[in-house]
């Protein structure tokens, strides 16, 4: 079983993915961490030293690497991964994809604390975050919406979202 979690930065892909993988007794992989290990640079360093175009190129290479193995896993991709090239088609061809859908408000408040880790928003003043995220999310939603399933995460704990995801997956497996 291969499950891919997609969604905007700060939508809880890594924390929910870790819990879900635990419950399913399969590995959890974070694509950003995989890239960091392979490149021996942080995401910020890759953007600053080599640029976003380079990042998007290797992001696709490593996404393919991970998807094309025989392993079972829950994979959290980056917020931008589904929005470039054929990535979303690759994800849907090799896995069951789930969009973790969060409101602009909850994303903004989660990212306030962690924006320094994200090169695309690190420079944006906190008071401008909701406006930036609103526009960016609007552009990205058509890609996220190609996912097999979606779940709203607002005002839910990571534990509750993970249990709901288990139910979705069990129900869909029973149908096949």
Please report, as ranges, the residues that interact with ligand S3P according to CB under 6 A: 9, 32, 43, 78-80, 118-120
**Least distance to ligand S3P, CB of residue 70, Å:** 25
Pairing between strand 73-76 and 27-30? parallel
**d(Cα 83, Cα 34) in Å, to the nearest integer?**
19
Specify whether the CB–CB gap between 147 and 97 falls below 8 A: yes
Q: Closest Cα partner for 63 from 21, 94, 22?
A: 94
**Of residues 114 and 172, the one with the C-beta less far from ligand S3P:** 114
- Sign of the dihedral defined by the CA atoms of residues 86, 92, 94, 97, in that order: positive
3-state SS, residue 146: coil
**Of residues 2 and 118, the one with the C-beta less far from ligand S3P:** 118
Specify whether the CB–CB gap between 117 and 27 falls below 8 A: no
**Least distance to ligand S3P, CB of residue 31, Å:** 7
**Least distance to ligand S3P, CB of residue 78, Å:** 2
**Of residues 145 and 170, the one with the C-beta less far from ligand S3P:** 145
**Least distance to ligand S3P, CB of residue 163, Å:** 22
**Of residues 51 and 170, the one with the C-beta less far from ligand S3P:** 51
């Amino acid at each position: 079983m291969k499950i891919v979690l997609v969604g905007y930065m700060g939508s809880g892909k890594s924390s929910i993915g870790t819990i879900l993988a635990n419950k399913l007794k399969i590995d959890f992989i974070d694509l950003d961490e995989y890239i960091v290990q392979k490149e021996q640079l942080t995401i910020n360093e890759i953007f600053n030293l080599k640029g976003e175009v380079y990042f998007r190129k290797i992001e696709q290479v490593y996404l393919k690497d991970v998807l094309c193995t025989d392993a079972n896993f829950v994979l959290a991709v980056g917020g931008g991964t589904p929005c470039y090239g054929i990535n979303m088609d690759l994800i849907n061809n090799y896995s069951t994809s789930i969009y973790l859908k969060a409101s602009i408000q909850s994303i903004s408040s989660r990212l306030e604390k962690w924006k320094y880790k994200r090169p695309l928003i690190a420079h944006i003043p906190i008071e401008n975050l909701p406006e930036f995220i609103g526009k960016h999310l609007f552009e990205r939603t058509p890609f996220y919406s190609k996912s097999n399933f979606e779940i709203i995460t607002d005002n839910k704990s990571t534990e509750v979202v993970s249990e709901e995801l288990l139910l979705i997956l069990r129900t869909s497996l029973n149908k096949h």
